[in-house]
Each structure stands twice: as C-alpha cells, then as structure tokens.
Amino acid sequence: MTKICTEYPDVFNKQLISYISQQLYPLTIVDEGIKKKHINDIKDRCPVCGRTLVERTAKTGPNAGGKFLGCSGFPNCRYTRKI
C-alpha cells in the first residue's frame, strides 16, 4: 500500500486504498464447493483453445482401446491428455 501511495500520491492515498480494499474483500470470499467446481471446470478445458475435454477411446495404434481426454474441437484442435 505504501508503494502505491508513494508512486501515485495525486491519485491514491491510504484512505482511498483502504476503502477500495474494504469494498473488494467480500468479493474474494467464496464457498469451498464453488471454488472446487471452478477449479475442476478449468482442468476440464483444453489449454489450447478453451473448449471442453471429452473422454475418448483410442481406435488404432499402440494405445488402441485405451482411454484419453481429447478436445471437443477435434479435428480443428488435436489436443489430448492421458487420463
């Protein structure tokens, strides 16, 4: 807080920063169930294009019959991840 006040004294002062912090703090409190769901939703997304990952079964190759996660945007996105 001191750094912001020092670097921008004409814009920020301690009272304003305290007020902003008090307004934002309640928005940071999240139910653990919602937090876990959000984290799982992010994990279930393709890191390349952001679409959902779906469970697929390899049809050919050395992993035929094996399960993996593939992007729902296939064939435009070919991201895969082991389960």
pLDDT tens, position by position, 5-24: 677 777 778 888 889 999 99
Q: Render pLDDT for 49-76 as a digit per residue (tens, 0 to 9).
A: 999 999 999 999 999 999 999 999 999 9
Minimum mean pLDDT range among 8-12, 35-39, 43-47: 8-12
pLDDT of residue 68: 95
Residues 6+ apart with CB under 8 A from 76: 49
Over range 41-52, report the average pLDDT.
90
Q: What are phi and psi of 68, to 5 degrees?
A: -155, 165
